[in-house]
Each structure stands twice: as structure tokens, then as C-alpha cells.
């Protein structure tokens, strides 16, 4: 059974959901999500002999939400992960991240291989630091300011759009980027916000939900965000250029721990500029990375859309890198 509590670490209070005993596995959600996005992973991983912990990361749902935008840099987020491992009484963990949680997982492994025993990322691969142009500026120039990152960076704009009706936000967000949306076959279009419009204009109201998403799931996500709002999560995007500067010392560094990457071929990230060249080259850039797992017909919400396949891939990886002793 999943249990909930609050842990204080790295100067912040984090809500965590946990189940099981054994080697620690941290599950890091993305945007706009929370611990609940891992609902299909708790029982199978715990039954296999692992201690599964999924925090609401800083700025999200029941965790603390600092007001300052610069409190959400990747170094703060990695600090939360390492601090959480130690606050849980452990010396190391396998860290798994989806969407925004994946860059946090990759950087945690890169910066603290003494604590992160192995790492897995869903949707977002370990992406090399770009050359001479920070990412927000790069996308602004490439798409005339219409790329969704640039929409998200505007203070208060996406915050208000998403908070106006959290349930509708999740209904459109989750359906819009999933593999069951016909618009994402074969590859999703670049998420460019229409002039004078909002992000949710990119996807209409679905006539019916896909099999993997229920009305009760939407109720849960909406309830987690009713008081929390979306500003904390959006602040992660607002630090993209700051992160680019802060991570300069690790430009070109390779992962030193065992690594796994899982994605869907209808994932919006899979169609980002440069991904068709990056993903085939990942194993040359990071020799400890296993062969990437690409799930046909799967969209962005990897572990929710394809829980059985994701769980199988994670358990195969975990048995190799952190065998359960029970």
C-alpha cells in the first residue's frame, strides 16, 4: 500500500509517496504531474523487492513551492534528490525520471555518481549542452517566440491559463500529447502557440478518454493542483537559460553509471529538433547507456500509457544494476 508523508531536506519540505522495502528507487515526475503519475509502478516494483519513493518535486502539488524563480535551477533540483536519498536513511539509489524528471535524474547521476547507482530516463534523453546559444533564446529565434517553452517563460501567462480550470487543463494536456491522439501519428507537430492564443489551443477537448486515462485519474490530478497551482512547475522552464550557464563545467561529460532510456515514437520530445540525430548517437555519447527502448505508438506519458512495458524494462534494468536481496 502506498503511504504518504513529508520529508525535510535541502532546506525544503517534500511530500513523498512510498511503498515497499529493499534497494531504493526514486521516481521523479514531470510537468504538469505529481507522485500520482507513477501509480502503475508502485506495486510491481515493490513486489519485486524495491523501496519505491515518488516525491512531489519542489514547486509541485503537496511539496513546498518557493516564490523565487531562481530557486528552481537544476542544481537545486539535484540537491533535492541527493538530500532526499540521505533523508530516507540511504546511501544510494537508482533514480528514474520522466519528462522534466528525466533531466533531473540525468544530472543527478552526472553530478553525484557516488549516490546515484544507476539512472533511467523516460521521454527526455540525456541531451548535450547546446553550443553558444541558451535554449530559450535558441527556440525564440527558431520559432519566432511561439515555441511552448517561450510561452511558459512569460510571467503569469500560462500560470493563469492552466489554473483557470485544472481539470480541463489535465484533460487536454494528457490527451493532447498521448499516442492515442490521431494528431500525433506518426510524429507530433512542433508545439507552437498560436499568436494571441494559449497553449491549450493546441489541442481540442477530446470526445472520449483513451483507455489508460480515467475520469478518476483526472479528478486526482486536478485535486492535487487546485491549491498548488502551476507556477512552481513553470518556474522550471524559466530557468532553462540559467541552467545552461550553470552546467557549463559538465559540457561533454559522459554518464559514469549504468543508464536506461525509454521513449515512445509518438512522443512530442521524440520529434524535437535534433532528436533524430541525437537518439541514435546516445550510446556513443554515453557508453554506459543500454540500447534505447522505443515503444511503438506510445506518446509522451510513457509510464502511464504503457505501464506493463515500462515496468518490464525497469525491472530488467533494476535486477541488473541493483538486485533485490529479499
Q: What is the pLDDT of residues 227-280, one digit of tens each?
A: 999 999 999 999 999 999 999 999 999 999 999 999 999 999 998 888 989 999
Contacts of 284 (CB under 8 A, 6+ apart): none
CA atoms within 13 A on the CB side of 202: 25
Spatial separation of the C-alpha atoms in residues 217 and 36, rounded to whole Å: 9
pLDDT for the residue 291: 95
Q: Classify the phi-psi angles of 143: left when phi > 0, otherwise alpha if psi is within -120 to 50, otherwise beta.
A: alpha
Question: What would the pLDDT profile of 89-147 be if each residue is shown by its tens digit?
Answer: 999 999 999 999 999 999 999 999 999 999 999 999 999 887 789 999 999 999 999 99
Q: Could you give the CA distance from residue 303 to residue 311 in angstroms, rounded to a whole number?
A: 8
* Averaged pLDDT, 54-59: 98
Q: Which residue among 29, 107, 286, 300 is the active-site one?
A: 300
Distance from C-alpha of 115 to C-alpha of 322, rounded to nearest angstrom: 13
pLDDT reported for residue 242: 97
Percent pLDDT > 90 in the chain is: 92
DSSP string, 216-227: HHHHHHHHHHHT
Catalytic residue check, 99? yes
**How would residue 299 be classed by pLDDT, with cut points 50, 70 and 90?**
very high
Domains of the chain in sequence order? 3-321 (3.40.50.1820)
Q: Is 267 a catalytic residue?
A: no
Mean pLDDT across 165-186: 94
How many C-beta atoms lie closer than 10 Å to residue 257's C-beta?
22
* Annotated catalytic residue within 80, 99, 159, 217: 99
Q: Is the pLDDT of residue 326 over 80?
A: no
Q: Closest by alpha carbon to 202, among 185, 228, 183?
A: 183
Question: Could you read off the pLDDT of 61-77 as tens digits, one per residue?
Answer: 999 999 999 999 999 99
For the full predicted model, state whether its pTM sits above 0.75: yes
Q: What pLDDT shows up at residue 59?
A: 98
Q: Where are the beta strands (DSSP E) in 74-180?
A: 93-98, 116-122
Amino acid at each position: 500500500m502506498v503511504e504518504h508523508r513529508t520529508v525535510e531536506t535541502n532546506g525544503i519540505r517534500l511530500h513523498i509517496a512510498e511503498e515497499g522495502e529493499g534497494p531504493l528507487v526514486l521516481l521523479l515526475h514531470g510537468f504538469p504531474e505529481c507522485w500520482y503519475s507513477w501509480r502503475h509502478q508502485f506495486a510491481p516494483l515493490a513486489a519485486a523487492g524495491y523501496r519505491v519513493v515518488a516525491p512531489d518535486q519542489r514547486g509541485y502539488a503537496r511539496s513546498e513551492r518557493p516564490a523565487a524563480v531562481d530557486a528552481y535551477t537544476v542544481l537545486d533540483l539535484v540537491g533535492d534528490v541527493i538530500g532526499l536519498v540521505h533523508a530516507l536513511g540511504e546511501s544510494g539509489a537508482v533514480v528514474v525520471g520522466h519528462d522534466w524528471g528525466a533531466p533531473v535524474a540525468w544530472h543527478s547521476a552526472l553530478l553525484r555518481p557516488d549516490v546515484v547507482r544507476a539512472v533511467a530516463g523516460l521521454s527526455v534523453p540525456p541531451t548535450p549542452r547546446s553550443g553558444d546559444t541558451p535554449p530559450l533564446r535558441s527556440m525564440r529565434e527558431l520559432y519566432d517566440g511561439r515555441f511552448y517553452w517561450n510561452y511558459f517563460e512569460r510571467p503569469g501567462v500560462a500560470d493563469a491559463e492552466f489554473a483557470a480550470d485544472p481539470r480541463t487543463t489535465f484533460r487536454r494536456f494528457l490527451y493532447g500529447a498521448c499516442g492515442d491522439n490521431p494528431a500525433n501519428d506518426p510524429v507530433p507537430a512542433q508545439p507552437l502557440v498560436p499568436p494571441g492564443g494559449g497553449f491549450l489551443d493546441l489541442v481540442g477537448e477530446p470526445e472520449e478518454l483513451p483507455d489508460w486515462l480515467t475520469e478518476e485519474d483526472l479528478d486526482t490530478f486536478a485535486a492535487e493542483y487546485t491549491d498548488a497551482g502551476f507556477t512552481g512547475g513553470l518556474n522550471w522552464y524559466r530557468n532553462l537559460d540559467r541552467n545552461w550557464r550553470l552546467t557549463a563545467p559538465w559540457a561533454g561529460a559522459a554518464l559514469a553509471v549504468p543508464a536506461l532510456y525509454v521513449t515512445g515514437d509518438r512522443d512530442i520530445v521524440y520529434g524535437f529538433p535534433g532528436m533524430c540525430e541525437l537518439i541514435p548517437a546516445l550510446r556513443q555519447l554515453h557508453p554506459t547507456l543500454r540500447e534505447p527502448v522505443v515503444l511503438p505508438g506510445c506518446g509522451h506519458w510513457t509510464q502511464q500509457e504503457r505501464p506493463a512495458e515500462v515496468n518490464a524494462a525497469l525491472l530488467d534494468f533494476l535486477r541488473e544494476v541493483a538486485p533485490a536481496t529479499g
